[in-house]
Amino acid sequence: MPLRKADAWALERELARVVGDPERRYRAAMIRHHRLIDAAPQPGDAEIWRDLFPQGYAAYVDPAARALGVDPALIYAFIRKESAFDRDAVSPAHAVGLMQLLPRTARGIQSLRNDASAPTPDLFDPGTNVELGSWYVHALQTRFGGQLPLVAAAYNAGPTSLLGWFRGRKSAEVDVFVETIPFKETREYVKRMVEARVAYAMVWEALDVDRAAAVLPLSLDLTVRPGVDF
């Protein structure tokens, strides 16, 4: 039976669920059901939506995020966007693993955590990758006031680039700020991350769209705070 047929993708999802492969489960769901994302989740499609927005590698994500006071749903959203739950992913820029960390970023994190003498981290190890990535997200949240649009922009383009886009402003409406980001890749990245975070709240926390969207600010505080600069 050709795998491209609809029923075969349903089988692929089920097999991935049985063997515990979140990457294959997510990809099969996206290929077969990506159009569902254009509308709000419906109760009858709950299982499909959980595959479209999975909580893969929960054994690593939940303890790492909670130890830092980071919402695990945010880490899942980063994993989904960065690596699509592929633990072996390597980008053209040599970013590695689930949250696509650059080796120099990982070493910078080690230095700030006062463990620069530690061995070079194995970023293909999901536990190590998620721990370092969660720390970095927490550091960005601390610097940018926990504001997801800013945290996502900094994660994608770097804190230094983000600060350069403030242009001396102290505040901005979210939609205005996002649309004035000079890089299309980062504009789209921020939008997709916001959508994913809201979707995770709807799918896993059973929130309606208004309550799920309440995690996002309407305006941004652009006050510069000290913190990570890589």
Alpha-carbon distance of 54 to 52, in angstroms, equals 6
Domains of the chain: 1-33+41-52 (no CATH), 53-221 (1.10.530.10)
pTM of the entire predicted model:
0.93
If you average pLDDT over every residue of the chain, what do you get?
92
Whether 82 sits among the annotated catalytic residues: the reply is yes
Average pLDDT of the residues in 194-201: 95
- The pLDDT tens digits for 101-116 are 999 999 999 999 877 6
- The pLDDT tens digits for 142-175 are 999 999 999 999 999 999 999 999 878 899 999 9
pLDDT bin (cut points 50, 70, 90) of residue 1 is: very low
Q: In angstroms, what CA-CA distances link 186 with 8, 154, 190, 228?
A: 35, 9, 6, 19
The catalytic residue among 23, 82, 131, 205 is 82
